[in-house]
Amino acid sequence: MRIKSLIVLITIFFIHVTALAEGGRVGKIVLDAGHGGDKPGAIGHFSQEKDIALAVTLQVGELMKKNMKDRQVIYTRTTDIDVPLAERHEIANRAKADLFVSIHVNSTPGTRTKIRSGSRTVKRKGKSVKVPNYIYKYDKTTEANGTETYVLGLSRNNQKVESIGEYSDNLTGEKEGLMDESDPMTAIIIAQYSQAFLASSVDLGARIQGQFAKQGRLDRGVKQISVEVLAGCVMPGVLIEIGFINNVEEEKYMNSPQGQTEIAHAIYNGILEYIKAVEG
Ligand SMILES: [Zn+2]
């Protein structure tokens, strides 16, 4: 882990200079469908994050190939396979991509409710007595809805608490894990990354969120956290949570052809708007 961090750190130092020198054109865009293979990501009532993420990612790619012929689309995966995080970063870094767009599906932690379920008889001091029987009901259904976009940066205190508290189910997974900000190496990596790419990442994130809002989705904002998915990439990047898989309505929406098309358009239009702004 330390050595991996060091490599990332050196890469960031090195590319930081190159990135600044190269200037504006956004020629290569990496589209990263979250999870895959035996890593399903968040699980809903009838679907899995990895499949929704892939379907939407491929549609965003199709829109780009059709409408941005002079730009290159690079996928980290196009099928249902698990690509390790480091390899996703390597694909983006090796290609010297200009943007990294990771597409994910949100979820909230489940709740456990203790429910009285009849009674049972037990022996106490030689006597049969009736005691209440309890079962636990696990419920992952949430009312939470809408889209949010993460960018890599040091978490502001209250945001970190909110993210970890509300979405711990999702964010402590190996892919969307938060890094340990008290680790000096991590802090340096994030500071370096922030200096080079945070402003651009926030700009891209805000434009994508704006497109979702235009479609009537709840805009949960752009959140700055130490999310590992973006930490190894030496380019502006965003991690988009396109909706909550454990919200009944949103799960249906994200699995429907119409929903997927709308989401893909929001992401595509956000990227397009960003490119126009950057390239002037
Ligand atoms: Zn995910």
Specify the CATH number for the domain of residue 86: 3.40.630.40
In a shared domain, residues 162 and 245? yes
Q: Inform me whether the pLDDT recorded for 60 exceeds 80.
A: yes
Residues 48 and 7 in one domain: yes
Residue 178: its pLDDT value, please? 79
The least confident of 15-24, 36-45, 110-119, 208-217 is: 15-24
Ligand 1 centre distance from Cα of residue 41 (Å): 5
**Rounded to the nearest 10 degrees, how much is the dihedral formed by the CA atoms of 18, 23, 26, 29?**
20
Same domain for 249 and 180: yes
User: Distance from the CA of 46 to the center of ligand 1, in angstroms?
Assistant: 16
The alpha carbon of 133 and the centre of ligand 1 are apart by a number of angstroms equal to: 37
Range of the domain at 167: 2-107+143-279
> Do both 91 and 210 map to the same domain?
yes
- pLDDT interval class at 188 (50, 70, 90): confident
Count of the separate structural domains present in the chain: 2
For residue 132, pLDDT beyond 70: yes
**Same domain, residue pair 133 and 13:** no
Burial of 238 (0-12, 13-18, 19+ CB in 10 A): buried
CA of 197 from ligand 1 middle (Å) equals 22
Reported as a single tens digit per residue, the pLDDT across 219-267 is 999 999 888 888 889 999 999 999 999 999 999 999 999 999 999 999 9
Q: Say how many Å lie between the CA of residue 18 and the centre of ligand 1.
A: 30
* Whether residue 60 sits in one domain with residue 126: no
Q: Which residues pair with 152 in a beta bridge?
A: 225
Residues 166 and 210 in one domain: yes
Q: Is the pLDDT confidence value at 102 over 90? A: yes
- In a shared domain, residues 118 and 239: no
Mean residue pLDDT across the chain: 85
Candidate from 96-100, 128-132, 175-179 with smallest mean pLDDT = 175-179
Q: How far is the CA of 76 from the centre of ligand 1 (A)?
A: 14
C-alpha 177 – ligand 1 centre gap (Å): 10
pLDDT classification of 269: cutoffs 50, 70, 90: very high
Return the pLDDT at 14: 58
- Are 129 and 201 within one domain? no
The residue ranking higher by pLDDT, 219 or 190, is 219
Percent of the chain residues past pLDDT 90, beyond the cut: 57
pLDDT at 166: 38
Q: Are residues 82 and 192 in the same domain?
A: yes
For 132, the token pair is 């209440």
User: What mean pLDDT is predicted for residues 63-75?
Assistant: 96
- Same-domain check for residues 125 and 212: no
Last residue within a domain, chosen from 141, 162, 195: 141
Per-residue confidence (pLDDT) for residue 185, from 0 to 100:
83
Are 46 and 122 found together in one domain?
no
Amino acid at 11: T
Separation of CA 48 and ligand 1 centre (Å)? 10
Whether 16 shows a pLDDT value over 70: the answer reads no
Q: What percent of the chain has pLDDT over 70?
A: 83
pLDDT band for position 218 (cuts 50, 70, 90): very high
CA 104 – ligand 1 centroid, Å? 4
Q: Which token pair is 60? A: 């965003």
pLDDT score of 171 more than 90:
no
Distance of CA 22 from the midpoint of ligand 1 (Å): 31
Q: Which of 276, 144, 279, 147 is nearest to 208 (CA)?
A: 147
Residue 165 binned pLDDT confidence (cut-offs 50, 70, 90): very low
* pLDDT: which is higher, 172 or 97: 97
Q: Tokens representing 179?
A: 């890094």
Map 135-189 to HEC letters.
EEEEECCCCCCCEEEEEECCCCHHHHHHHHHHHHHHHCCCCCCECCCCCHHHHHH
Look at residue 45 and tell me whether its pLDDT is greater than 50.
Answer: yes
pLDDT at residue 169 greater than cutoff 50 = no
